[in-house]
Amino acid sequence: MAHFLFGPFLDNEFLRQSLYAGILVSAICAVAGTFVVLRGLAFAGDALAHGVVPGVAAAMLFGFSGVLGAAIGAGVMMSGVSVVTRRYRLSGDTAIGLLFVGMLALGVIIQSRSRSFAGDLTNILFGEVLGVSKSDLVWQFIALVAVCAIAWFCRRPFLLLSVDDGLTETSGFSVKKYHNIMLAMVALTVVASFQTVGTLLVLGLLIAPAATGALFARRIGTMMVVAAVVGIFSTYVGLLVSYHANVAAGASIVFCSVLVFTACAVVVEVQRWQAHRKDIHHDHDQPHMHGHVHVS
Amino acid sequence: MSARIEATGLAVGYGHRPIVEGLNFSLQPGELLVLIGTNGSGKSTLLKTLAGLVTAQKGNVNVLGAEPGTQHSLVGYLPQHPVSSHTLPLRVEDVVAMGRFAHLGLTRRARAEDHRIVQESMERTGAIAYKSRPLRDLSGGQQQRTHLAQVLARRADVLLLDEPTAGLDLLGRQAVAELVAQERARGVAVVMATHELSDADTADMVMLLAQRVVAQGSPTTALTDAALRECFGFTQPH
C-alpha cells in the first residue's frame, strides 16, 4: 500500500518535479483564486486563461519564451477588456466574452501554421505537468512570492472590493485601480500555471480549491490555507491516479479538486440539515421559547 | 461654526438625466437632515452624490468644505442594501474593522486605539453579542447592526445613512434613533433617508422628495397633510 501511495514519487524524478510544480501552482492559485471567488471574477479568469493562447502559440511558432508570450497575451486581454468596457459602454462580461473568443480563435489560427498543430495545441490547453523543468519551478516560485506580495500589500482594498465597490471608493481606494491590480495578479497566476495544468484547466485550480475554502472558512486567511491544502491534495492524488491508471495528469488534478469541492459541499449540506433538525426538536422540547420576542 | 454640508442649486441623477433638481440646504455640526420620499424619488442618489459615488449634475455642493468623495476618513456612508455575499468568509468583527480602513490606508498597522474603536462600535449597536460569527450566518437585522457598527467605526464628522432602520424591529429602530442622537451630540452632521415618518421626529430639517422637492423645513412645517398627499398620493398616519 505504501509503495502504491509513495513509490511513484520516490522512484521517478520527473514525477517528483511534477509534484513540486503542482504544489507551487496550488499555492499561487489558492491566493489569487480566493479573490477570484470572492469578487466573482471566474469569467474574467477564464478569459485571461484563454487570452494567453495566441501569445503561447506565437512563442512556439517563432521560438521565443512561452512565458513571455503568455504574459503578452494576458496583457493584451486585460487592456482590451478595459478599453471595450470604457469606450463602448458594454457590460464587463460582454467585453470579456468578445475578447475571450477572439483571442482563442487567434491562438488556434497562429497554431494552425505549426507543423505539429494538434500536439502543440493540446499542450497549451491541457498543460505538460510531466514535462516540468527546474527553471519552470524557479519561475513558479518567483510568481508565488510576487502573488503573495501583491495580495498582502493590497489586502485592504482587495477585501473591500470583495464586499462592495461603493464601500471601496468611500474608504479612499480607487475601484478601477485595485480591480486592475487584482486582474494583473490573476494574469500572473495564469501565466505561471498554464505550463503545468494548461490554459483550459487552470481555471479549475483557481476556482475549485478556493470555493471549497469558502464553504468552511470564517476568515479570508483560512480560506486561502484551505484552498492551498485542497490544491496540494488534488495535485498528489491526481498525479497518483494519472500514474497508476495511465490517464492525463493535468486533467486528473483538476477533476480531483472539483470532486473534493463536491464532497465538501455534500458534507456542509448534511451538517446544515442536521442543525435544522436539531433546531426543530429543540423548539418542540421547549415550547415556552416561542413566547420570547426575537430582537434582531 | 462652518457648515458640514452645503448645497446650492444642486441637481443629482445618472448620466444626463437629473432625478432631483434645485436642492438647496446647509447642515451645521450636530444637525440631522431626514430625506423622505417614494422609491426612485432621489433620496439614495442624493446620498450617493454627497458620498462622492455619483457626480453632481448641476449646482454646487461641498462636504466638510471640499468636493464630495475627497474626505474619506471623515465621511461615513451606509448604503441601502449593504452586500452580504453568501460566500464571504468574514466574521462580524472583521466587517466592523473595515470601517477603520479609510484611516489606516494601504499600509498603516491597526493600533490599540483602532481596536478600541471597533470594539466600542460593536458594543453600541449590540453586534458585540455575535462578533465572532460569520456575517453570512446572521439574520437581516443582525447584519444591519453590523453594518451600522462599521459606519460608526469610521468616527466620521458626517454620516450618510440610507435607510438604516430597514430590516429592524421596533427596538432596533429605537436603538438607531439613539445612536443618531449620540452622534449628533458629538457634533456629527447626519443625513438619513427613510420611509418611516417617525424617524423625522427629532430632525432639524426634513426634505420630502418625489423626483423634486415637495416640501422642505422643520418636521412640523414640511410634513403637512397636503405635502404628504402630494408626495405619496395619500396621507400617512404619523
pLDDT band with cut points at 50, 70 and 90 for residue A86: low
Number of domains within chain A: 1
pLDDT beyond 60 at A211: yes
Note whether A163 contacts B140, CB cutoff 8 Å: no
**How would you class B20 by CB atoms within 10 Å of its CB: exposed for 0-12, middle for 13-18, buried for 19 or more?**
buried
Q: Is residue A288 part of a domain?
A: no
Tell me, yes or no, whether A63 lies in a domain. Answer: yes
Query: Do residues A258 and A26 touch, judged by C-beta distance below 8 A?
Result: no
- The answer to whether residue A264 neighbours chain B at the CB level (below 8 Å) is no
A115 in contact with B at a CB cutoff of 8 Å? no
Buried b (16+ CB within 10 A) or exposed e, A197-220: bbbbbbbbbbbbbbbbbbbebbeb
> Are A162 and B72 an interchain contact pair (Cβ–Cβ within 8 Å)?
no
Question: Quick check: B33 and B200 in contact, CB under 8 A?
Answer: no
Structural domain range at position A45: 2-282
Buried b (16+ CB within 10 A) or exposed e, B166-205: bbbeeebbebbbebbeebbeeebbbbbbbebbebbeebbb
Pair A99, A51: CB distance under 8 Å: yes
What is residue B158's three-state secondary structure? strand
- Predicted local distance difference test score (pLDDT) of residue B189: 96
Identity of the residue numbered B8: T
Among A residues 11-70, those touching chain B with beta carbons less than 8 Å apart: 37-38
With an 8 Å Cβ cutoff, is A167 touching chain B? yes
Q: For chain A, give the number of residues.
A: 296
**Smallest Cα–Cα separation from A21: which of A198, A247, A256, A227?**
A198
CATH number at residue A9: 1.10.3470.10
C-alpha cell at B125: 449597536
Among candidate residues A52, A59, A58, the one with its CA nearest the CA of residue A73: A52
User: In a 3-state reduction of DSSP, which class is residue B133?
Assistant: coil
Complex-level ipTM beyond the 0.85 threshold = yes
pLDDT band at A294 (very low <50, low <70, confident <90, very high): very low
pLDDT at A130 over 80: no
Instruction: Please give the Cα distance from B87 to B66 (Å, whole number).
Output: 37
Q: What is the mean pLDDT of chain B?
A: 89
The β-bridge partners of A190 are none
The model's pLDDT over B140-156, given as tens digits with 9 standing for 90+, comes to 888 889 999 999 999 99
How far is the C-alpha of A47 from the C-alpha of A187, rounded, in Å?
Answer: 10
Q: Does the residue A292 lie in any domain?
A: no
Tell me the chain B residues in contact with residue A156 when contact means C-beta distances shorter than 8 Å. Answer: 98, 101, 104-106
Residues of A in contact with B174 (CB under 8 A): none
| Greatest mean pLDDT range, A3-12, A176-185, B226-235 | A176-185
Which of B103, B105, B106, B153 is closest to B128 using CA atoms? Answer: B153
Among B residues 117-156, those touching chain A with beta carbons less than 8 Å apart:
132, 134, 139-142
Q: Within a domain: residue A222?
A: yes
Distance CA A232, CA A26 (A): 6
Residues of B in contact with A159 (CB under 8 A): 98, 101
Q: For residue range A154-189, list pLDDT tens digits in order.
A: 999 999 998 888 899 999 999 989 998 999 999 899
Residue A287: inside a domain: no
Report domain extents, chain B: 5-232
Least confident of A30-39, A44-53, A233-242: A44-53
Angle at B213 between CA B210 and CA B17, to 5 degrees: 65
The whole-angstrom distance between B94's CA and the closest CA on chain A is 8
- Residue A193 contacts residue A36 (beta carbons within 8 Å): no
Backbone conformation region of residue A198, classed left if phi is above 0, alpha if psi is from -120 to 50, else beta: left
Beta strand extents in chain B (DSSP E only): 5-14, 17-27, 32-37, 58-63, 75-78, 158-162, 189-194, 205-209, 213-217
From residue A122, how far is each of A62, A202, A205, A241, A250 by CA, in Å? 18, 14, 18, 20, 11
Residue A294 forms part of a structural domain? no
Return the sign of the alpha-carbon dihedral for residues B212, B214, B217, B219.
negative
pLDDT tens sequence across B24-76 = 999 999 999 999 988 888 899 999 999 999 999 999 999 999 999 898 899 99
Residue A170 belongs to some domain of the structure: yes
Residue A89 lies in a domain: yes
Which of A170, A223, A295 minimises the CB distance to B89?
A223
> Tell me, what's the pLDDT at A107?
86
Q: How far apart are CA B147 and CA B141, in angstroms?
A: 10
Q: Considering only residues 146 to 165 of chain A, which have any Cβ-Cβ distance to chain B shorter than 8 Å? A: 153-154, 156-157, 159-160, 162-164
CATH superfamily of B5-232: P-loop containing nucleotide triphosphate hydrolases (3.40.50.300)
- Strand-pair category, B58-63 with B205-209: unpaired
Whole-angstrom distance, CA of residue A19 vs CA of residue A155: 29
Contact (CB<8Å) B73/A218? no
> In sequence order, which residues have a C-beta less than 8 Å from that of residue B26 and are 6 or more positions away?
B3, B5, B6, B7
